[in-house]
Amino acid sequence: MTGTASDRAALAAVVSRTRYLLLDFDGPVCSIFAGLPAPTVAEELRKLFTPDQLTDTAKNTTDPIEVFIQAAEVDPKLAARVEAEMTGLEVAAVATAKPTPYVHEVLAGCRESGRTVAVVSNNSAQAVNSYLDRHGLSDGVGLVVARTSHDPAQLKPSPHLLEIAVQKLAADPAATALVGDSLTDVEAAHRAGIASIGYANKPGKRDAMTEINAGAVIGSMSDLALSLRAYPLPD
């Protein structure tokens, strides 16, 4: 396993009380933009803006979701067009998305220990479902709660999507944890009153996630897979 003894203890503390495991999609499940890079998607979305609609942030960001947020600040109709285009590009990107190492082992660990898995994502529900179908993961994932609206305020770091997942699963928030690779995932989990496991898949993330009190931080999904096997389901 990666990490220190205290990392492993923090992970064990979260996993041993987790019956409902929520997975962020881009990061913990796959790298959706492995073949169609996010900066290319952001560039495509920018083309929907007129020159006077382009804020400095919209002009410079390489993050498609940030372009969407900027669109919503300008005009809801522009946000709707950007969201629809982004959905199309995300669905196209599924064909070249790269599975995250050991995510299949995490799903197997949940299945074997009787834990329920849901995917909670800022990416479009269409793209998430398409990816899960393509990779034979639909049966292992009990629920998908993802972007279906052109209102970015509903996306993480808002707790909105997590609250829907908790409600639809009839889950006890105290027995629920989100695995995410962004600080906004940790923040959304805090706001939803559930535990968080930060997936530190890039340098610097571990410290940043620890700083905002992620319940645990992992450097590889294999850490989580091993922990799920080691700690049986809570009573």
Q: Where along the sequence are the contacts to Mg ion (CB under 5 A)?
A: 24, 26-27, 181-182
User: Smallest gap, in angstroms, from Cβ of residue 97 to Mg ion?
Assistant: 13
The whole-angstrom separation of Cα 28 and Cα 24 is 6
Give whichever of 78 and 189 is closer to Mg ion, judged by the CB atom: 189
3: nearest Cα among 198, 212, 183: 198
Q: C-beta of 75: minimal distance to Mg ion in Å?
A: 27
In angstroms, give the least distance from the CB of 32 to Mg ion.
9
Nearer to Mg ion, 43 or 63 (CB): 63
Please state, in angstroms and rounded to a whole number, the distance separating the CA atoms of residues 115 and 171: 11
Using H for helix, E for strand and C for coil, what is the string for 212-231? CCCCEEECCHHHHHHHHHHC
State the nearest-atom distance from the C-beta of 158 to Mg ion, in Å: 15
| Residue facing Mg ion at closest CB distance | 27
Facing residues of 147 across strands?
Answer: 124
Q: Which is nearer to Mg ion, 78 or 217 (CB)?
A: 217
Q: Tell whether omega for the bond before 203 is within 30 degrees of 0, i.e. cis.
A: no
Q: Which is nearer to Mg ion, 175 or 178 (CB)?
A: 178
